[in-house]
Amino acid sequence: MKKYVLAGAIVIGLVAAGYGFVKLNGSTHTVPTAGVGSGPFIISLATNGQLDAKRSMTVSTPRIRGSLQIVKMVPEGTIVNQGDFLIQFDPTQQETNMRDATAELKIAEANLERAKAQLDMDLKQLDLDFKKAERSFYEKQSEAPIIRKEAELEMDLARMKFDTQKKMLEADIQKTQVEVDKARDQKDQATRELESMRLTAPIPGLVVYLEIWKGSMMDKVQEGDNPWPGQGLINLPDLSTMIVKTTVSEVDISKVKKDQRCTIQLDAIPGPVFSGVVTEVGTLARPKERGSKINVFDVEIQLDSTDARLKPGMSARADIIIEAFDSVLSVPLEAVFEVDDTTIVYAKGGRKI
C-alpha cells in the first residue's frame, strides 16, 4: 500500500472494510485509510528453493573386466517402473567368457568324476589286498613262530598301505574338487557379468542422463559411448514423493521446526498451491554462496501429494507457517508505527491506539 506522509504522521481510518481516503480538517490533502480485519491470521516465513525427489538412485556401469560399449538406452525423460529396461551394453566379450567358463567347468567336473571312480577302484583293490593278508595271517597261526611273524608283518603292511593310499587318493579328490569349485565360481562370475550387460531400473522414476568424460570434455551419455567401470550413467529420481530443498538465514532459523506446515508455489506451474511439511532442519550453518559472509541452514520440505507435472529442478517458493491464529483483529503492516518504543496505529480523527 502506498504511504502518504503529512506533518510527520499517517492517519489510518478504522472503517468497516477495504481502503479509502479521508480529508484532514482544514486541508485539501487526502490520507489513505484501511479497514481492520477480523479472522484467521498467519505468520509465515517465505523462502525460495528447488524441487527434488525425496529418493533417487544412480545407475552405473558394472564393475567388470574389459571395456564396455553402450548399444541401446531408454530415451531420457521416460517414466519407468522398477525392473524396466534402461541400458544395454555390447555382450560379445561376456558371451565368449561365458562359453569358455562353461567348458572349463564341464572339464573340471569330468575330471572329478574320473578321480572318484579311480578312488573307488583303488580302495576296493587295497581292501582286497588287506583282507588277503589278514586271512593269510590267521591261516598261519599253527605254523612256526617265524612264519606267523612274517604273516603278521604282511598284514600290517597291507593295512598301512590301505590307510596311506586312501589318504593320498582322498587328497587328490579334494584337489580336483577345488578345481571344480574354482571353475564354478568363474562360471558364476561370467553369468553375472553377462547379466549385467542389461541394466534395469532399481526403483520407479524419471530417466535423467548424466554427463560423463568424453576425451577432454563432459557431455551427456549416449549410445556408442565407452564408459568406465562404475561410472554413473543415469539418475533415477522417484517422483512419488517430492521435496523442496531450500535455505533459511541464520537470523530466522530459530523460528523453523520440524513438522511445521507449509504452502508451496511453483514458477513453472502458476496457479495451484501445494501443501507440505518441514521434514529436515539443518544443524550446521554454511555460506549461502562461495565466499559469501551470509550464513544459511538447509531446510527440507516434503509435499503432501505429488502431481504428474512436478519435475526435479523446478523453482519453488515455500511459505513456512510459523504461527497461526483462528480469530484476531488485524491491520495492514503499513498502518503500524513505532513511537517512543511503542507500537501504535492511528484511528480516524487523529487518535492513536
Residue 289: what residue type? E
Residue in the block written with cell 505468520 = 43
220-233 pLDDT, tens digit each:
999 999 999 999 99
| Rounded distance between C-alpha atoms, residue 68 and residue 27, angstroms | 86
Res. 20 pLDDT band, cuts 50 70 90? low
| Rounded distance between C-alpha atoms, residue 226 and residue 212, angstroms | 10
> 320 near 249, Cβ under 8 Å?
no
264 vs 1, more confident: 264
The answer for residues whose C-beta is within 8 angstroms of residue 346's C-beta and 6 or more apart is 9, 10, 11, 12, 335, 337, 352, 353
Whether residue 7 is predicted with pLDDT greater than 60 in this model: the reply is no
297 vs 23, more confident: 297
| Rounded distance between C-alpha atoms, residue 234 and residue 78, angstroms | 11
Each domain of the chain, given as residue ranges in start order, spans 42-55+238-347, 83-201
288-329 pLDDT, tens digit each:
988 888 999 999 999 999 898 999 999 999 999 999 888 888
Please state which of the ranges 19-28, 102-111, 141-150 shows the lowest mean pLDDT.
Answer: 19-28
Fold match between domain 42-55+238-347 and domain 83-201: no
Average pLDDT, integer, range 106-124: 86
Which contiguous run of DSSP H or E holds residue 162? helix 145-195
Average pLDDT, integer, range 235-264: 96
What percent of the chain stands above pLDDT 90?
A: 55
Please tell me the predicted confidence (pLDDT) of residue 27.
53
61-90 pLDDT, tens digit each:
999 988 899 999 999 999 999 999 999 999
Cell of 292: 559469501
Residue 120 CB neighbour total at 10 angstroms: 11
Average pLDDT, integer, range 121-126: 78
Whether residue 11 is predicted with pLDDT greater than 80 in this model: the reply is no
Please state which of the ranges 4-8, 93-97, 282-286, 310-314 shows the lowest mean pLDDT.
Answer: 4-8
Cell of 110: 569330468
Average pLDDT, the chain: 85
Average pLDDT, integer, range 119-129: 78
From first CA to last CA, the distance across the chain in angstroms is: 20
Please tell me the predicted confidence (pLDDT) of residue 248.
97
How many CA atoms does the CB half-sphere of 11 hold within 13 Å?
A: 17
What's the whole-model pTM score?
A: 0.68
Residue 353: what residue type? I
Please tell me the predicted confidence (pLDDT) of residue 3.
35
Res. 262 pLDDT band, cuts 50 70 90? very high
163-201 pLDDT, tens digit each:
777 777 788 888 889 999 999 999 999 999 999 999 999
Please tell me the predicted confidence (pLDDT) of residue 16.
36
What's the topology of domain 42-55+238-347?
A: Elongation Factor Tu (Ef-tu); domain 3 (2.40.30)
Q: Which CATH architecture has domain 83-201?
A: Orthogonal Bundle (1.10)
| Rounded distance between C-alpha atoms, residue 57 and residue 187, angstroms | 29
264 vs 346, more confident: 264
Cell of 109: 567336473
Q: What are phi and psi of 19, to 5 degrees?
A: -105, 155
Residue 82: what residue type? Q
- The conformational region for residue 18 under phi > 0 = left, psi -120 to 50 = alpha, else beta, is left
